[in-house]
Amino acid sequence: MIEVHHLNASRSRRITWMLEELGLPYDVVTYQRDPVTNLAPPSLKAIHPLGKAPVLRDRGKVFIESGAIIDYLLRQYGAGRFMPAPDAVEYDRYVELLHYAEGSAMLPLLLKLYVGRLGEAGAPLHPRIEGEIQNHLGWLDSELAGRDYFVGSGLTGADVQLSFVAQIAARFAGREAFPNLTAFADRIEARPAYQRAMARSGA
C-alpha cells in the first residue's frame, strides 16, 4: 500500500490530492507542526533524514520532493492521465511548470515568510522580495488568462504542483491581486478529489 507522510498545513496536501485524483488506495501518516516553532516533529526524520513533508513510500522505496513524487505517481499509475504524452507539443511546458513551482515560484514566498520574522532588520530586503513576488505571481496569473488549467485543457500534475502557490498568493496578496490565480485556486478546491483529500488529511 502507498504510504504518504503528511504534515498538517503543508505542501504535502498536493500528494494526497494527486492520489485521490488517481483513485489509488493509500495510507496517510500525519505529523503535527510544533505550535511554537511551526516546524515538523523530529519523528518525521525516521522516514527520511531531512524531516520534511511530503514523503512517499511505495514498493519498498522512499521518495521526497513533491514534484518528483507527482512525476513518479503519474508514470507508475497514471496510464496517461494528468500529463501530456511525452511526444506531445505540450509536454515540455508540463515539465517546465512541474519544476518551476518549487524551483522558482516558492522562493520569494518563503523569503517573505522568513524575512518577515526579522522585523525591522529585514526591511532592506522587502522591496526585492515584493518585486519578485509580483514578477512570479504576475507571470503565473497572465499564463492563466482565458484558460482553466496551466497545460492543455484539463488538470495535470503541473496544476497540482502550482496549486499551493496559487493558494498562498490569495493569502499573501489578497483575492483581488491575481484574479486568475485566485479563480484557479477556487477551481481546484471545488474538485471532489481535492475535497476528499482535505477531508482525509486535513485542510
Ligand X SMILES: N[C@@H](CCC(=O)N[C@@H](CS)C(=O)NCC(=O)O)C(=O)O
Residues interacting with ligand X, by CB under 6 A?
7, 10-11, 39-40, 51-54, 65-66, 102
Which residue is it, cell 483513485? 23
Residue 4 or 129: the one with the smaller Cβ distance to ligand X is: 4
Asked whether 166 and 181 are in contact (CB, 8 A), the reply is: yes
Q: Which is nearer to ligand X, 54 or 123 (CB)?
A: 54
E-strand spans in the chain? 2-7, 26-31, 55-58, 61-64
Which residue, 179, 161, 173, 145, is CA-closest to 106? 161
Q: Which residue has the cell 507522510?
A: 5
Residue number with CB closer to ligand X (54 or 157): 54
Min CB(44)–ligand X separation in Å: 7
* Rounded-to-integer distance, Cα 31 and Cα 42, Å: 10
Question: Nearest approach, Cβ of 150 to ligand X (angstroms)?
Answer: 17
What minimum distance in Å lies between the beta carbon of 98 and ligand X?
11
- Based on CB atoms, which residue is closest to ligand X, 43 or 142? 43
